[in-house]
């Protein structure tokens, strides 16, 4: 409030000095005019203070509250930013450890996958080995059967040749009669 009065005094002082210099040139210092102007000025200041005190006071109070609130919000924002910054710095510090841990886990998983693939390949090899063994056994059985068949056919031809060379037509007639007699005995 005092600052406002002082400011208004400085604004009016040059006019007062100018008026005094004009009046002083004519008859000396017009103290009565200066006194009237000071009284008028005091009344003006009093009226302004009376009517503007509450609005100016309310404005200044509102402005100071707004500034205090802005300062508090800025402090909260700064605190929040500092917390986030600290969290980011901590995460950055742990990042190399996290990367090392991820690499270790990937190596473990790769080893496990390689082991699983090796076991699967071994199982497949064993399965194929069993299939080949079974197929070979089947081929051997088939070959043996063919050999037996061929040996039987060969034996039959050889026996036929031997029989045809050694058995005469009389022997054949005699064998036919003997077989017919045996069949009759069985039938009777």
Q: What is the distance between the alpha carbons of residues 87 and 124, in angstroms, rounded to a whole number?
A: 52
Mapping DSSP onto H, E and C, the string for the chain reads: CHHHHHHHHHHHHHHHHHHHHHHHHHHCCCHHHHHHHHHHHHHHHHHHHHHHHHHHHHHHHHHHHHHHHHHHHHHHHHHHHHHHHHHHHHHHHHHHHHHHHHHHHHHHHHHHHHHHHHHHHHHHHHHHHHHHHHHHHHHHHHHHHHHHHHHHHHHHHHHHHHHHHHCCHHHHHHHHHHHHHHHHHHHC
Say what the pTM is.
0.34
Per-residue pLDDT in tens (0 to 9) along the chain, 188 residues: 565 666 566 655 556 555 555 554 556 889 999 999 999 999 999 999 899 989 988 999 999 999 999 999 999 999 999 999 999 888 888 888 888 888 999 999 999 999 999 999 899 899 988 988 898 889 888 888 888 888 778 877 887 777 777 777 787 788 888 888 888 888 87
In this structure, is the dihedral angle defined by the CA atoms of residues 154, 156, 157 and 163, taken in order, positive or negative?
Answer: positive
């Amino acid at each position: 409030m005092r600052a406002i009065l002082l400011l208004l005094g400085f604004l009016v002082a040059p006019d007062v000095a100018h008026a005094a210099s004009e009046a002083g040139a004519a008859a000396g210092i017009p103290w009565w005019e200066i006194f009237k102007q000071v009284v008028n000025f005091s009344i003006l200041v009093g009226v302004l203070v009376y009517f503007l005190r509450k609005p100016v006071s309310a404005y200044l109070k509102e402005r100071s509250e707004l500034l205090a609130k802005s300062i508090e919000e800025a402090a909260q924002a700064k605190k929040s930013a500092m917390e986030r910054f600290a969290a980011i710095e901590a995460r950055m510090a742990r990042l190399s450890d996290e990367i090392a841990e991820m690499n270790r886990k990937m190596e473990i998983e790769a080893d496990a996958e390689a082991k699983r693939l090796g076991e699967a390949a071994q199982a497949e090899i064993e399965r194929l080995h069993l299939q080949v063994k079974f197929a070979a056994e089947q081929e051997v059985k088939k070959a043996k059967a063919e050999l037996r068949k061929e040996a039987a056919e060969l034996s039959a031809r050889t026996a036929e040749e031997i029989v045809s060379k050694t058995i005469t037509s009389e022997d054949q007639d005699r064998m036919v009669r003997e077989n017919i007699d045996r069949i009759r005995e069985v039938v009777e």
